[in-house]
Structure 1
Amino acid sequence: MKIAIAGALCAALLAASVTAQAEVSPEDQIKLRKAGYSFMGWNMGKIKEQVIDETVSYNPDQVLAAANAISAISKSGMGALFGPGTETNVGDQVTRVKPEMFENTPDVITLSGDLTRAAENLVAAADEGDQSKVRTAFGEVGQTCKACHDKYRQK
């Protein structure tokens, strides 16, 4: 059942990506995806400060809000922002995506699904308020990000 749902979701995302690509220029696609990942990174940083580094007092409401933002971004359909013409720099928008990403759609879909599942686990842990569980789930999100960066992000 989960595989069927995942397949339907992937088909819907693909359909949405075709529509979105027709409406958003390649330059704007790069700009928007960079903004989305920056926002995700900012929210990861808020959790890291509170749960990993412990340089900021733990605030369960803030951690939950950040986890929800990360999860929402992971499910936002940002794959639509990797349309044709966005594998290289466009205008004043610089991209660090490796062109190989555009040739490995099944792997990218798998990596994207891994991020979504890890982000949902982070939300569940944050909702419980257990810092230890949040720490573990946060690490899993970080590993899913790293898996994609290692394969498809230029240094």
Structure 2
Amino acid sequence: MKKSIARATLGVLALSLTTLASAQVKPEDQIRYRQAGYSFMSWNMGKIKTNLEGSYNKDQVIAAANAIAGIANSGMGALYGPGTDKAIGNVKTRVKPEFFTDGDNVGKIARDFNAAANELAKVAASGDAAAVKTAFGEVGKNCKACHDKYRLED
């Protein structure tokens, strides 16, 4: 019982902090920050892919996987605040409007992505390139799930 109350309290606190964090960041900066986060994750995905296709360097893969997991777990959902569903001046966004109205599905995709990113970091620490390749594929599959449904084409 006490654990349930503690978890509920932490959940409410996390939601409050997320809401407060997005309220303190201008919408155009929220778009810039989330784009930077996704760009950094993409760069790290590229580093892992290069290692899987060439000479495997365990330390580079661990660092890249940890960076991806860190960003995935950083609370980026707070960067999808009110007003970030469309371009603001010269700050463009490719997120579809449905992203902002499809909360349950977006939440599931985000949880699945976070779980896959965490698993990739865990597997990378083992140094098993075959296991990393499988976990890497799962992260990519989760990226694609969101892109296919909620990302506008160029």
- TM-score relative to the length of structure 1: 0.89
Q: Which has the larger radius of gyration?
A: 2
Superposition deviation, residue 14 in structure 1: 3.0
CA spacing shift, 1:10–1:43, aligned 2, 3 Å? farther
Indicate whether 1:136 and 2:137 are aligned: no
Note if contact 2:23-2:81 (Cα within 8 Å) is conserved in structure 1. Answer: no
| Stretches of 4+ aligned residues off by more than 4 angstroms | 4-13
Superposed CA RMSD in Å reads 1.9
Whole-Å separation in 1 of the counterparts to 2:9 and 2:77: 15
Whole-Å separation in 2 of the counterparts to 1:7 and 1:152: 30
Q: Name the SS of the counterpart of 2:85 in structure 1.
A: coil
Identity of aligned residues (%): 54
CA spacing shift, 1:126–1:79, aligned 2, 3 Å? same
Whole-Å separation in 1 of the counterparts to 2:112 and 2:11: 13
Q: Which moved more, 1:138-147 or 1:118-127?
A: 118-127
Match in the other structure for 1:113? 111
Superposition deviation, residue 75 in structure 1: 0.4
Identify which of 53, 62, 65 aligns with 1:64. 62
The runs of 5 or more residues in structure 1 that have no matched partner are none
Q: Which moved more, 1:20-29 or 1:4-13?
A: 4-13
Match in the other structure for 1:146? 144
Superposition deviation, residue 10 in structure 1: 6.1
Superposition deviation, residue 134 in structure 1: 0.3
Match in the other structure for 1:90? 88
Superposition deviation, residue 11 in structure 1: 4.7
Match in the other structure for 2:30? 29
Letter in 2 for 1:78: M
CA spacing shift, 1:49–1:11, aligned 2, 3 Å? farther
Superposition deviation, residue 16 in structure 1: 2.6
How many residues align? The count is 149
Superposed CA offset, 1:93-148 (max 9, x none): 11000000000111111111101110111111111100000000000000000001
Letter in 2 for 1:131: A
